[in-house]
Structure 1
């Protein structure tokens, strides 16, 4: 549940309109100045400094990613290797490979001799797993643009064999938003003998929830959408992805079933019984059993080519003069249709507002997806930024743990590279452990007081800053609570209260993942006689314990 907030962002996607971009070249990149509208950027290489990013948080995040490739207390690393890519305002500022694309000799984690390993490179090709769902969703929405269906059409109208066992009313929109009621997964590869029987199992499955009543992330939704796209177009899904996405965007290493000529650039995934080391063939068993081409998995790509796709989305559906979606279609895809299912915000194919991997880049408009093999794509329209983390975390086994901490590290690094500038002079922000920011003692005069200050609030749900007052220096009363995230703007706060001896801002750290933070600036206290405290003019007007001065 989100904490009721003084500063709270709308959960609806604001209308996006095409605008001429104001490139960040030569100015500081700002987290506290969110963009409206689409960008119009051509993804190109550059440096953090070129687009006004602070390189230090990026370097810190990259160093932590590198450490994740080293054994920890468990005796093994979090992942064998990774490629991390950061882009801002159309500029790829970091594209850092680390570790190994092939590292292990068996499922037990026996390391290959170093001369037999394959290092990660910038152009390493990864099995992106469920990020494939974005490709399927884009292909489906291309069909929508062509008038092949309406979002609230029953799927059975176009795919009659689907309309059995209680699925007659499931709509295309419900498949795209994972609200169809279908089960998350079926063991197609192991319990059905061939492709026709596996497809029929999906068509015959029975919902576990009435359609539209619950959110259940389901591979079956996207398998069905892939079949729908094929029915509408008369073409196979891999042909549609090539025609509608990869060819227009110039993506040469993105697609299904990569050729053997690219095997030396492909990251290994898992050692599986009966399959051995899976490399160059889709890891997901169900997608493999469907011939490597399925709506839920099967796409291979590089960090750079995923970033090109991401830039096309931030551009409203085009890149380098080639359009893959209309702006209004992208707007639909980035609109939250799951407001009835808190915590499961979802557009049409894109996940939205997911702190668990979007970290401090999270907002109601932040979009992305993850893949089981260890891949992550985060798109932040508010800052026109992209964070990509590609790993082979299932090499040699899927049982070595979650890489979600690494996903958040990467997103947090980019968020903190974007500045939050003081409103005037000096701003204060709490350290991660908490603490207080307290005024000096105030003159006690009859009548009330007005406390005013500027606040920037981007806090994880559960975190908050409580503004308190005391008359005796011992007992404190609440006068305001600062909470919420996603708005990314400074606000002026004014509190009319009874006369107090002191005020303080007390940071309470919750159990969440953390946001960009909270900043307090331009503190001023007055009564009917005049100014009691102007913190911008008094060097000793505020006393900090666990808070620090911040200039960005």
Structure 2
């Protein structure tokens, strides 16, 4: 039974039993330790599994002064949260409550104006709808409104289309997934809020007991958002650290407001490694998973990173968005958070500056990584690529 497998996964195993090389895993921990000592970030917790069996885990550094990283730390997952929202949307598609080509204007009253009439659910899942793509909340909102789903949807709905849907890909931290979250609320036959839908249909059934959209500010296991003390960083520290109070237990931010532990993220990743099922619960059909895990943006680059590529001398790279709230590795030599050596079908999700999970189907490897200390822009992608390649190097056939 699937549920029995899940319980044994989290008991873990020695690296040999999981098909992992212990010396290679030591190099992974060594790299993370070096980066923590150099100030690239403050702390990290991660695990490596093969075939659903956890063969290695480590917790390095201090998530805040005097507080060592622990297995049960609860992190703000930032954009990794999109994977949860996407799973809920695809589940609704499986159930016939909406379609990938359903127009958002038919789901969210007031959205279909100023050129946005034909934006679809598929466009939102792949950041190709031409909706607002700014990093802060949409005007006239401020960070204080980040957790107010209704306000965000209202603000986005009033803005004009930025480009013809489907012709470009520009990642946006707010608009697309706020609209998807509101769509789920609007079609819900039980009239639940977004947080409750996620709890009832995803987190609860998968045994993700330490996961929720929003978290009490005074929760003792909550990892505070911080900014790494790196040379040349221009990120506004106050903006990001304000998330420590803005994202409270009432916040509903489908694009970046989920909180979770390393183990709970693993439970979710395992459900997708199994093509949509975990803990005896089917999140989505196998047919839907197989379709969603592909590259749905072709060779289009992610225009959101144009400024960062230029500033850091990085060649522009294809977006490779799936419908799963994240990316697929694909082929070719280009920047990818999943590692140069990952197989082309490797899929997963990334949270800006802090988090990642990936599944490499060819190696049957799952890697979950959560860190404290926001690292700006594509520097985070580079960091993830480095640790992912070290995790992949530990695979023993």
* Other-structure match for 1:436: none
User: How far does residue 206 in structure 1 lie from its aligned partner after superposition?
Assistant: 1.5
Q: Is the 8 A contact 1:258 1:280 kept in 2?
A: no
Number of residue pairs aligned between Structure 1 and Structure 2: 355
Structure 1: gaps of 5 or more residues: 1-19, 22-39, 72-76, 104-116, 283-287, 421-552
* Residue 140 of structure 2 is aligned to residue 191 of structure 1: yes
Question: Residue deviations 1:254-295, cap 9 Å, x none?
Answer: 11222466x22121113864997754753xxxxx7x952122
* Other-structure match for 1:150: 99
Among 264, 281, 292, the alignment partner of 1:322 is: 281
* Residue 53 of structure 2 is aligned to residue 91 of structure 1: yes
Question: Residue deviations 1:409-457, cap 9 Å, x none?
Answer: 321122212247xxxxxxxxxxxxxxxxxxxxxxxxxxxxxxxxxxxxx
In the TM superposition, 1:3-152 aligns within 5 A as: 43-44=9-10, 45-71=12-38, 77-103=39-65, 117-152=66-101
Q: Is the 8 A contact 2:337 2:384 kept in 1?
A: yes
Question: Residue deviations 1:62-94, cap 9 Å, x none?
Answer: 1110111113xxxxx011100021111111111
1:308 counterpart SS class: helix
Q: Is the 8 A contact 1:333 1:350 kept in 2?
A: no
User: How far does residue 185 in structure 1 lie from its aligned partner after superposition?
Assistant: 2.1
Q: Is the 8 A contact 1:136 1:296 kept in 2?
A: yes
TM-score normalised per structure 1: 0.60
From the superposition, tell whether residues 266 and 170 of structure 1 become closer, same or farther in structure 2 (CA, over 3 Å). same
Structure 2: gaps of 5 or more residues: 228-236, 302-317
1:335 counterpart SS class: coil
2:110 counterpart SS class: helix
2:266 counterpart SS class: helix
In the TM superposition, 1:347-366 aligns within 5 A as: 347-348=322-323, 349-353=325-329, 355-366=335-346
1:92 counterpart SS class: strand
Q: Is the 8 A contact 2:133 2:171 kept in 1?
A: yes
User: How far does residue 101 in structure 1 lie from its aligned partner after superposition?
Assistant: 1.3
1:160 counterpart SS class: coil
* Residue 360 of structure 2 is aligned to residue 383 of structure 1: no
Larger-gyration structure (1/2): 1
From the superposition, tell whether residues 198 and 241 of structure 1 become closer, same or farther in structure 2 (CA, over 3 Å). closer
Question: Residue deviations 1:335-380, cap 9 Å, x none?
Answer: 2221242611121123111752101453331111111241111111
User: How far does residue 309 in structure 1 lie from its aligned partner after superposition?
Assistant: 0.5
Q: Is the 8 A contact 1:58 1:417 kept in 2?
A: yes
User: How far does residue 174 in structure 1 lie from its aligned partner after superposition?
Assistant: 0.8
Give the distance between the partners of 2:269 and 2:393, measured in 1 at CA: 20
From the superposition, tell whether residues 280 and 306 of structure 1 become closer, same or farther in structure 2 (CA, over 3 Å). farther
User: How far does residue 187 in structure 1 lie from its aligned partner after superposition?
Assistant: 3.7
Question: Residue deviations 1:453-482, cap 9 Å, x none?
Answer: xxxxxxxxxxxxxxxxxxxxxxxxxxxxxx
Among 320, 324, 342, the alignment partner of 1:345 is: 320
In the TM superposition, 1:300-339 aligns within 5 A as: 300-339=259-298
From the superposition, tell whether residues 211 and 259 of structure 1 become closer, same or farther in structure 2 (CA, over 3 Å). same
Give the distance between the partners of 1:331 and 1:390, measured in 2 at CA: 26
User: How far does residue 197 in structure 1 lie from its aligned partner after superposition?
Assistant: 4.7
* Other-structure match for 2:181: 226
Give the distance between the partners of 1:80 and 1:118, measured in 2 at CA: 11
RMSD: 2.7
Question: Residue deviations 1:214-251, cap 9 Å, x none?
Answer: 11111211111111111111321111110111100111
Query: Larger % of helix: which?
Result: 2
Q: Is the 8 A contact 1:230 1:236 kept in 2?
A: yes
Give the distance between the partners of 2:240 and 2:40, measured in 1 at CA: 23
Query: Larger % of strand: which?
Result: 1
**Structure with more contact order per residue of length (Cα contacts < 8 Å, sep ≥ 6):** 2
User: How far does residue 334 in structure 1 lie from its aligned partner after superposition?
Assistant: 0.3
Q: Is the 8 A contact 2:352 2:377 kept in 1?
A: no
1:265 counterpart SS class: coil
* Residue 349 of structure 2 is aligned to residue 369 of structure 1: yes
